[in-house]
Amino acid sequence: MVTSSECPLDAATIAERMNLHVTTVRFHLDRLEAAKLLSRTTEREGHRGRPRVVYSTDAFPSDENAANRQLVEVLADALSHDPDGGKARGEEAG
């Protein structure tokens, strides 16, 4: 089951929660970011290597995209109630 999160999540965490391959999740995250339905930021954890890329829905202006945000939340909630966590319908839609 997919759960909501107050903090930004990386693609691997989202993939694990949705029981999808991380490449599939990254593809859809890129599309959602292009549609301005989420934002991407990087986090440094104080060690060498690439910064961690995380995604958040905080990109929504307060009222301007309220309907879009509500639609995304309703669709995500509907998918999360599928026995497979929305995997089949998500892949079919993709």
Q: Which residues, in sequence order, are bridge partners of residue 9?
A: 55
Q: Got the DSSP string for 70-81? A: HHHHHHHHHHHT
- Look at residue 62 in the predicted model and tell me its pLDDT: 54
Say what the pLDDT of residue 6 is: 66
Distance CA 22, CA 33 (A): 16
pLDDT of residue 1: 41
Token couple for 69: 């945000």
Residue 28: CB partners within 8 Å, gap ≥ 6? 90, 94
Maximal CA-CA distance, the chain? 41
Consecutive 10-residue averages of pLDDT for the chain (94 residues): 65 90 92 86 80 78 66 74 75 71
What pLDDT does residue 2 have?
A: 45
* Spatial distance between the Cα atoms of 79 and 18, rounded to a whole number of angstroms: 9
> Which whole-number Å values give the CA distances from 85 to 1, 47, 74, in the listed order?
5, 34, 14
pLDDT for residue 54: 92
